[in-house]
Amino acid sequence: MGDPKKQRKKYIPPRHPWQKERLEREIVVVGKYGLRNKRELWIHQTQLRKYRHRAREILALPPDIREKHEKELINKLYKMGILHEDATLDDVLSLTVEDILERRLQTIVYRKGLAKSIYHARQLITHGHIAINGRRVTVPSYMVSRDEEDLITYFPTSPYNDPKHPERPQATPETPSVEEAAQSE
């Protein structure tokens, strides 16, 4: 079994804790994507920072080595669903944290219409009602790859699997939020 690995932080917090503009941006993103707290946002920002740093390192390499590493990074981000197939390193450098947050299981469950709201999607996932390829996934921050995106459904033994369940949302993709519905009226 061995010794457990030392736990390490998966994020880098902001350098200055009280910047009004940053705090306002963060609270909007946390609400839009239904994150539990800002720490979840910082984790994804750190992940994005690593991809962008890797892209800058690749740009500094000699052309023959650069080509190989560039393809590897772009293929990885393509399989994750973050970039399109014919992307370049400039596209990697222009990524935003929203591009990463769009690939979370919580967001995709909501976008597919399996949940009434982004918060409902989080609850369905943590309570074990969502499965990927028949396998239960209970982590809302699970990064869904391009291959797994079409395999997201309700878990077979979940009551939500019954189309007549009263709490099950009607299968309308891109269900508008309460704010969007109020704006359209």
| Residue ranges of domains in the chain | 20-101, 105-184
* pLDDT on residue 180: 55
Provide the pLDDT for residue 4: 82
More confident residue, 146 or 4: 146
pLDDT number for residue 173: 52
Which pLDDT score is estimated for 178?
45
* CATH architecture group of domain 105-184: Roll (3.10)
| pLDDT single digits (tens) 65-88 | 999 999 999 999 999 999 999 999
pTM of the model: 0.87
Q: How confident is the model at residue 167 (pLDDT cuts 50, 70, 90)?
A: confident
Helices (H) and strands (E) in the chain, counts: 8, 3
Percent of the chain past pLDDT 70, that is, above it, reads 91
